[in-house]
Amino acid sequence: MEAERIFEAREALAEGLARDVGDELARAIEAKGKATLAVSGGTTPKLFFEKLSQADIPWSRVSVTLVDERQVPESSERSNARLVRQHLLQNKAAAARFVPLVDNPDAAKLPGFDVAVLGMGNDGHTASFFPGGDTLAEAIDGETPKRLIAISAPGAGEPRLTFTLPVLESAGRLALHIEGAEKKQVLTKALGEGPEEDMPVRAVLRSAAPVTLYWCP
Ligand SMILES: O=C1O[C@H](COP(=O)(O)O)[C@@H](O)[C@H](O)[C@H]1O
């Protein structure tokens, strides 16, 4: 873990993470005229998305995608794309270009991410690097030429799509956003010894990529 940003509560965390991500996107736009942001789904990012959607940056120059997706229609409550559309692509961020992962060949052609925000499940998965995943070994292989991969796992619910470790670890900024004591305990365990296959978030934590933790109780 390169750095830890600890907040008193969810609201402050969401604001702090949104400020840092917005600043980083603005820097990328300043430097090269455009920026790419990859976000996680699940339950944790909702408030962060709502704060980030109000950031005063040139969103029309930002491409937004997901680090992973559940292979369900966007009408499903389980769709990460639905979450992004409902909570991030609103307000000022409505001007961003969204690149969903399901049935979209353009997703694998996206340029490197300027910012990627990861989550983590209580089973030690991040993105859709799930314990027991049928393609987990390839997904967390730092040398794989694949950028986006399909994966199914007993604990994953539906089949998934996920960007692979080389794509995630090459992000300009890599944040891990988790909340609550239980996830902090899971992270502490993941930072200890043990196989990556048991807690695949270890593949990211042990990679050369500097990861910044954003956490609140
Ligand atoms: O299934 C997923 O779960 C993780 C963690 O989600 P949370 O509900 O515990 O916040 C998420 O990071 C990932 O993007 C999502 O597909």
Token pair, residue 157, equals 């619910």
How far is the centre of ligand 1, averaged over its atoms, from the C-alpha of 204 (Å)?
Answer: 15
Say what the pLDDT of residue 182 is: 98
Regarding the beta carbon of 42 and ligand 1, being less than 6 Å apart is answered yes
Say what the pLDDT of residue 170 is: 97
CATH code of domain 3-216: 3.40.50.1360
User: Can you tell me the ipTM of this complex?
Assistant: 0.98
Say what the pLDDT of residue 1 is: 83
Average pLDDT of adjacent 10-residue blocks, the chain of 217 residues:
95 98 98 98 98 98 98 98 98 98 97 98 98 98 98 97 98 98 98 98 97 98
How far is the centre of ligand 1, averaged over its atoms, from the C-alpha of 80 (Å)?
Answer: 9
Q: Please report the atom of ligand 1 found closest to the CA of residue 119.
A: 12
3-state secondary structure the chain: CCEEEECCCHHHHHHHHHHHHHHHHHHHHHHHCCEEEEECCCCCCHHHHHHHCCCCCCHHHEEEEECEEECCCCCCCCCHHHHHHHHCCCHHHHHCEEECCCCCCCHHHCCCCCEEEECCCCCCCECCECCCCCCHHHHCCCCCCCCEEEECCHHHCCCEEEECHHHHHCCCEEEEEEECHHHHHHHHHHHCCCCCCCCCHHHHHCCCCCEEEEEEC
How far is the centre of ligand 1, averaged over its atoms, from the C-alpha of 120 (Å)?
Answer: 6
pTM exceeding 0.95: yes
Regarding the beta carbon of 68 and ligand 1, being less than 6 Å apart is answered yes
Say what the pLDDT of residue 176 is: 98
Regarding the beta carbon of 75 and ligand 1, being less than 6 Å apart is answered no
Say what the pLDDT of residue 164 is: 98
Give nearest CA residue, ligand 1 atom 3: 42
Give nearest CA residue, ligand 1 atom 1: 42
Give the integer Cα–Cα distance in Å for 167 and 146: 9
How far is the centre of ligand 1, averaged over its atoms, from the C-alpha of 155 (Å)?
Answer: 12
Domain ranges for the chain, please list them. Answer: 3-216
Give the integer Cα–Cα distance in Å for 122 and 136: 17
